Amino acid sequence: MALACHDVSRFAACAQIRETGFIIGIACAALLMSGEARAADAAKSIAMMDCTLLDDNAAYNDAATAQQDAARVRVVSDELRSQLNKRALYRVADNGPADSMITGLRATQNLNACNGCELEIGRKLNVDRVGVCWVQKISNLILNINLRVEDVATGKMVFQRSVDMRGNTDRSWRRGASALVDLLAADRMLRSDAAHDGSDTARSAIADAGKGNRSFPK
The confidence band for 185, taking pLDDT boundaries of 50, 70 and 90, is: very high
With respect to residue 217, please indicate whether it lies within any of the assigned structural domains.
Answer: no
On average, the pLDDT of the chain sits at: 80
**Residue 27 in contact with residue 217, Cβ under 8 Å?**
no
The enclosing domain of 39 has a CATH number of 3.40.50.10610
Distance CA 88, CA 184 (A): 11
Per DSSP, what are the bridge partners of residue 130?
A: 47, 150
Residues 122-142 pLDDT 10s = 999 999 999 999 999 999 999
Cα 14 from Cα 12, distance rounded (Å): 5
pLDDT in tens, 85-99: 999 999 999 999 999
- Average pLDDT in the 149-158 region? 97
Would 81 be classed as within a structural domain? yes
Q: Is residue 6's pLDDT more than 60? A: no
Residue type, 136: Q
pLDDT number for residue 10 = 38
Indicate the number of domains in the chain: 1
Residue 214 lies in a domain: no
- Asked whether residue 216 is assigned to any structural domain, the reply reads no
* Three-state secondary structure readout of the chain: CCCCHHHHHHHHHHCCCEECCEECHHHHHHHCCCHHHHHHHHCCEEEECCCEEEECCHHHCCHHHHHHHHHHHHHHHHHHHHHHHHCCCCEECCCHHHHHHHHHHHCCCCHHHCCCHHHHHHHHCCCCEEEEEEEEECCCCEEEEEEEEEECCCCCEEEEEEEEEECCCHHHHHHHHHHHHHHHHHHHHHHHHHHHHCCCHHHHHHHHHCCCCECCCC
* 191: confidence class by pLDDT, cuts 50, 70, 90: confident
> What is the reported pLDDT for 187?
93
What is the model's pLDDT at position 204? Answer: 53
Q: Looking at the domain assignment, is residue 218 inside a domain?
A: no
Domain with 96, as residue range(s), is: 5-209
pTM above 0.75, yes or no: no
Banded pLDDT at 188 (limits 50, 70, 90): confident
Q: At what angle do helices 170-197 and 63-86 cross, to 10 degrees?
A: 30
pLDDT, one tens digit per residue, over 51-84 is: 999 999 999 999 999 999 999 999 999 999 999 9
